[in-house]
A and B are shown apart, each in its own frame.
Chain A
Amino acid sequence: MRAKYAIAAVGAALLAAVVPVMAHHSFAAEFDASKPITVKGTVTAMDWVNPHSHLRFDVKAENGTVEHWSAECLPPNGLYRQGWRKTSVKPGDEVVVTGFKAKDGTNYMWTQSVTTSDGRRLFAGSPEGPGGPGGGAPPAGEPKQ
């Protein structure tokens, strides 16, 4: 049985990063922009790599089975400019991840934001996702934390 996840409305105006994904895949081909998702889970690892960092987390399904999810994020330079630091999430942290699910049915998603249990919300998506390329200016001011 699959874990229930809330369908949340996504504001494309929230996409503030200016770093694009590499062209080895296109958002539209890989992710379903018509089905925004919100998934709750426990962080197992965070890979800070180019071209996409990955937040890996476990989601407990209703029947108790554990699903291993991976959320595709900006590369490290993009995450840093969104306020992420290497200490932002740690294995064991409870997170709420919003974004769009992969079309191929796997537990892979394009990430828009990650909210930690202490209420910090960090954006992790690139403008090549929903809202199209070049979405908005970077957030003003120094990122919190």
Chain B
Amino acid sequence: MINRWTASMRTAVCVAALVCVGAAPALAQSKGYTAPRTPDGHADLQGIWEIQKSPDKDLDGSKLIVDPSNHKIPYKSEALGQKKDNAKNSVANDPLNKCYMPGVPRINLLSYPFQIFQTPDYVAIAYEYIHNYRTVYMKRDKHLPDIDFWQGDSIGHWDGDTLVVDVGDFNDQTWLDKAGDYHSDQMHVVERYTRTGPDTLQYEATIEDPKVFASPWKIRAELKRDTKPNARLLEYECQYLADEAAKKQGK
């Protein structure tokens, strides 16, 4: 009796293993993990996510830069002067210290959570940091002409289980970190969001800017889900900086 049971268990396990092996190519790009599905059949990226160790103090030289392999942002030599100027007075000149928008990818790399919502036509990302949001348009494939945005214009498509977001239409007002790393209005960012486990999301961004960088460069970070019961976005407002500025103007 026991032998027959064991044999049928063995058979069941072998069948299951064959099924898994058969599905391997689809699993490979998400490191062996298959995310649950949304009703329209795509990987479900929804939830509250946050980077665990923000590189915002200084992205240049951070291990988050995976290309180039020396982890340095490949500035054009003529663009380095502006970086140095920014660094000299970084606390005063950091756009975040003026309550300005963080831009992309900086907003995903701050130590504040963000929440992803998915519909077939849009992916919406709501950020705790100064009530920011990005709408990723899944049914548009061209950036809006003749307009620029602090947070860029995001258009998305699926590459298997990876959400690919093409971000353009940037203005030149944001920094990439607190240290003064910057970009021009020619910056173009391609993001890749991939679930790697029940509570982890891999975030990659390839950044190019023909005015500032000699070549495209790439960052990769792991974001963790907020799994605490009743997890939710709170507020982080920066009206205190506006209040300070108003005080300085004698209001």
Contacts and interface: CB of A to CB of B under 8 A. Distances in A.
Nearest to B239: A50
Contact of A142 (B57, B226, B230, B238): B230
Contacts of A24: 91, 97
Contacts of A134: 52-54
A18 B240 contact: no
Nearest to A22: B97
Nearest to A128: B57
Contacts of B112: 19, 77
B234 interface: yes
B161 interface: no
A18 B52 contact: yes
B172 interface: no
Contacts of A140: 228
Interface string A104-145: 000000000000000000000000000001100110111000
A80 interface: yes
18 contacts: A18-B50, A19-B236, A20-B54, A20-B111, A23-B57, A23-B94, A23-B96, A24-B97, A49-B240, A50-B239, A50-B240, A77-B128, A77-B235, A81-B228, A134-B54, A137-B224, A138-B228, A141-B229
8 smallest A-B Cβ distances: which pairs?
A134-B53, A77-B234, A23-B178, A20-B111, A142-B229, A18-B111, A50-B240, A77-B236
B88 to A, nearest CB: 14
Contacts, number: 55
Interface of A: 18-20, 22-24, 49-51, 75-77, 80-81, 133-134, 137-138, 140-142
A138 B112 CA distance: 12
Contacts of A137: 52, 224
Contacts of A138: 226, 228
Interface string B94-131: 10110000000000000110000000000000001000
B228 A19 contact: no
- Classify chain B: how many residues form its interface, as a range: 20 to 34
- A77, A81, A137 — which one has the most chain B CB atoms within 10 A of its CB? A77
- A18, A20, A138 — which one has the most chain B CB atoms within 10 A of its CB? A18
Interface string B207-242: 000000000000000001010111000111111100
Contacts of B235: 76-77
Interface of B: 50, 52-54, 56-57, 90-91, 94, 96-97, 111-112, 128, 178, 224, 226, 228-230, 234-240
Contacts of B50: 18
Nearest to A77: B234
A83 to B, nearest CB: 11
Contact of A75 (B56, B91, B236): B236
A141 B228 contact: yes
A133 B57 contact: yes
Nearest to B178: A23
A96 to B, nearest CB: 27
Given A23-B178, A77-B235, 19 more contacts: A18-B50, A18-B111, A19-B111, A20-B54, A20-B56, A22-B97, A23-B57, A23-B96, A50-B236, A50-B237, A50-B238, A51-B240, A75-B236, A77-B128, A80-B234, A133-B53, A133-B54, A133-B57, A134-B54
A80 B94 CA distance: 27
- B52, B90, B239 — which one has the most chain A CB atoms within 10 A of its CB? B52
A70 B57 CA distance: 26
A77 B238 CA distance: 12
A23 B54 contact: no
A30 B38 CA distance: 49
Contacts of B236: 19, 50, 75, 77
